[in-house]
Amino acid sequence: MSITIPSPLSSSPAAPPSRATVRSVSIPLSIYAVSLASLLTIVGILWDISWHRSIGRDKFLSPPHILVYLGAIFAGLFSGIQVLYNSFFRKEAARAADVRVWGIFYSPLGSLFCIWGAIAMLTSAPFDDWWHNAYGLDVTILSPPHTLLAMGMIFLQFGACVTICKYLNADAASGTASRRRTVLQTLFVISALSLLTMVYTLFTDYLHVRAMRSGTFYLMAAIASLLLLPAFGRALRMKWGMTAVTGGYFLLVAFSNWILQLFPAEPKLGPILTHITHFQPANFPALVIIPGLAMDLVLQRSKAGDWVKALWLSLTFVVLLVAVQYPLSGFLQQSPYARNWFFTANSYYFGISPNAPFRYKFRPEDISPIGQFLQMLTVAVGAGWLCARLSLRWGQWMQNIQR
């Protein structure tokens, strides 16, 4: 496939679009559609995880699966219509404002990611059904069909962010605040928090409550978070960008947990060792909003180069996350005051016995010795430094997207 993309950092880009012209155009319906699709897909995934914890895998077209694939159809359809409209009804304007594909089609760069992501997600649907029929239940989150689905979702959500950046950058070039820019920033936050939640979900095996007293939790959290948050902070062009994204992540997961518990559900797949009557939510979300707030302050006040900024971002994130999550994990895992609808510590998979000896305790292997813990925190800061530097560079690229 031939795609022509002028580099946004080139000193002499080929026929760059006029930012004033882009700004004068209203926000396309497809941008609202892909932002909503980003949210629908991750809500569907959170619901699906709870479905498996509460009911089991009872059928292919379960309600959460339908919601996920509806999001893919929504994003792919609206992005495809936008490409066809640009290519055949406003071709002259699209030459200056969009990416050329196969010498025929003109598409915003982000729409290409959305279309590819939607295709991958819809391809994973029959693949996943065949996989379960052939091999039974999954033993890991990242089975081949789930990996394809996850990559498709990431492409879709990333594409939504890229598409919004085109218009957000054009508005920022005018130097004046506007209601339109506020709408664009809100849509970007929705897409970005969906992507962040998706990445955290992929790392569930490392980012659960029992893991919060091991160094591996903070290493994986630093990699997952610092690859994304600094880029979002720059691309959003707002004072509290990372705070908005991490706060949105917290609200999305928390409200999903609180709402799901209201609906009845009973297991349909044996063995059933714990009788439940309602949906079992996921863990209480990590309080990454606290390091997110502090990292916004770092970007606001630091005048150093990006390598120094990245180091400060990594140190800030790891230190504050340890300070918050290490004691919180003890409360969530062991305290009877956490076993309620708000903190969801009494949520339990029906396939595990209610008399399990470590149901409300840490297992010995869950807690890292202090020396090993500090060593892993050092590794986490180093890995986070590199991820944050890459993310800042990525954010700079997003600030230059014009097509």
Instruction: Please name which of 78, 96, 217, 97 lies closest in space to residue 159, comparing C-alpha atoms.
Output: 78
Instruction: Please name which of 174, 156, 136 lies closest in space to residue 68, comparing C-alpha atoms.
Output: 156
- Residues 44, 14 contacting (CB under 8 angstroms): no
Task: Calculate mean pLDDT across residues 31-35.
Answer: 88
- Residues 261, 278 contacting (CB under 8 angstroms): yes
Cis before 28 (ω within 30) = no
Reported confidence tier of residue 177, pLDDT bands at 50, 70, 90? low
Structure token pair of residue 137: 């239940």
Work out the percent of the chain whose per-residue pLDDT is above 70.
Answer: 84
Task: Calculate mean pLDDT across residues 139-162.
Answer: 81
Q: Each residue of 39-58: pLDDT tens digit?
A: 999 999 999 888 888 887 76
Q: Each residue of 313-346: pLDDT tens digit?
A: 999 999 999 999 999 999 999 999 999 999 998 8
Across 23-32, 91-100, 231-240, least confident range? 91-100
Look at residue 160 and tell me whether its pLDDT is greater than 60. Answer: yes
- What pLDDT does residue 224 have? 94
* Euclidean distance between CA atoms 118 and 104, whole angstroms: 21
Q: Each residue of 180-225: pLDDT tens digit?
A: 888 899 999 999 999 999 999 989 889 989 999 999 999 999 999 9
- What pLDDT does residue 359 have? 83
Cα–Cα distance list, 179 to 168, 190, 345, 398 (Å): 12, 17, 41, 21
Reported confidence tier of residue 282, pLDDT bands at 50, 70, 90? confident
Burial of 141 (0-12, 13-18, 19+ CB in 10 A): middle
Place of tokens 């916004």: 296
